[in-house]
Structure 1
Amino acid sequence: MKKIIKHKDNLVSELSKQIDESKSFIIFEYSGLTAQEITVLRKKLLESKACLKIIKNNILNRALVKSKINDFGDLVGPNAIAIGVEDEIAPLREIFNVSKDNDFIKIKGSYLEKSFLDEQKTKAIASLPNREGMYSMILSCLTAPIRGVLYALKAVGETKTN
């Protein structure tokens, strides 16, 4: 086997293994991003233990087939994949935030908990607040009735003293 073919097979196997072990991943068309913007995106993804890979479509398609994922069809255009290892939503959120600022970024789809999400579902999931934000929203809802009673008691107390 030629050296280059063996190298490509190793790339496919490595990417397929990363896809299989990931909690989520998102594939998007990055055409139009500058090298500086891609570097900033990579750093943001690394903070959340995710990675960004810019790989040829042939290798990406073969890795998806090897992982038994056929939902993306045949990928065309300059595509990249962001793979989340620890936080499932982090890569989706980061790519969604970049796509809000840049209209030319096209989200092809994502995988979350071993199920395919199209562009609209990916954007809906990515726009949800993070875990801490959800906790604070729930806590606010739970304390609202108590807060209302306390304000009412305070108002009654103020009217009684006058």
Structure 2
Amino acid sequence: MNKNRELKEAKVAEIKEKLEKAQAVILADYQGLTVEEDTELRKALREAGVEYKVYKNTMVTLAAKELGHEGIVQYLEGPVAIAFGYEDVTAPARILADFAKTHKKLELKAGIVDGDIFDQDKVNQLASIPSKEVLIAKLLGSFKAPLSNLAYLLNAVKDKKEAESAE
């Protein structure tokens, strides 16, 4: 086997591994971003634990087909960057969507979330979901509110009884 083919097979294997490992994979068209904008985007993604790569579309196509993700192949046209989210499912979509609001050149194309193909609309819906930490904080807040109200009520009853017994 020639050296070039070995390199390509290694690259396809690398992409396949990342696709299998990632909870969420988001494809974006980055054409037209300046180097400074791309660096800023990469920094924001890295801080959130999201890996951001640009691969040849043919290599991604081969890896996706081997994993049974043929539905994503139609979105692999033109320059495509891929964000791999390993921990937070919403992070890649959320960060890319936030960045796209201020940088019109960046466009979300599609994604794979837990093995399901998401089109652009579904990716934008995913981006609107708050992070795991925010959702947990809201849940804990909803638990805390009734308990706080109960404590306030019990304290008011106690104060009322003390006031009645003092009279």
Fold in common (TM above 0.5)? yes
Unaligned stretches of 5+ residues in structure 1:
158-162
Partner in structure 1 of residue 80 of structure 2: 79
Give the letter aligned to residue 130 of structure 2. P
Query: Does residue 89 of structure 2 align to residue 88 of structure 1?
Result: yes
Partner in structure 1 of residue 4 of structure 2: 4
Give the letter aligned to residue 125 of structure 2. A
Q: Cα distance, 1:27 vs. partner?
A: 0.9
Partner in structure 1 of residue 67 of structure 2: 67
Partner in structure 2 of residue 120 of structure 1: 121
Name which of structure 1's ranges 42-51 and 88-97 shifts more when overlaid on structure 2.
Answer: 42-51
- Alpha-carbon distance in 2 for matches of 1:131, 1:85: 13
Q: Cα distance, 1:40 vs. partner?
A: 2.0
Unaligned stretches of 5+ residues in structure 2:
161-167
Give the letter aligned to residue 22 of structure 1. A
Relative to its length, the structure with more helix (as a share) is 2
- Alpha-carbon distance in 2 for matches of 1:93, 1:54: 19
Query: Does residue 110 of structure 2 align to residue 109 of structure 1?
Result: yes
Give the letter aligned to residue 72 of structure 2. F
- Alpha-carbon distance in 1 for matches of 2:105, 2:18: 27
- Alpha-carbon distance in 2 for matches of 1:105, 1:46: 17
CA contact (8 A) 1:48 1:86 kept: no
CA contact (8 A) 2:88 2:132 kept: no
- Alpha-carbon distance in 1 for matches of 2:147, 2:66: 55
Partner in structure 2 of residue 50 of structure 1: 50
Pairs aligned (count): 157
Look at both structures and tell me which one has the larger radius of gyration over its CA atoms: 2
- Alpha-carbon distance in 2 for matches of 1:132, 1:88: 12
- Alpha-carbon distance in 2 for matches of 1:20, 1:146: 43
- Alpha-carbon distance in 1 for matches of 2:63, 2:103: 28
Partner in structure 2 of residue 16 of structure 1: 16
Partner in structure 2 of residue 30 of structure 1: 30
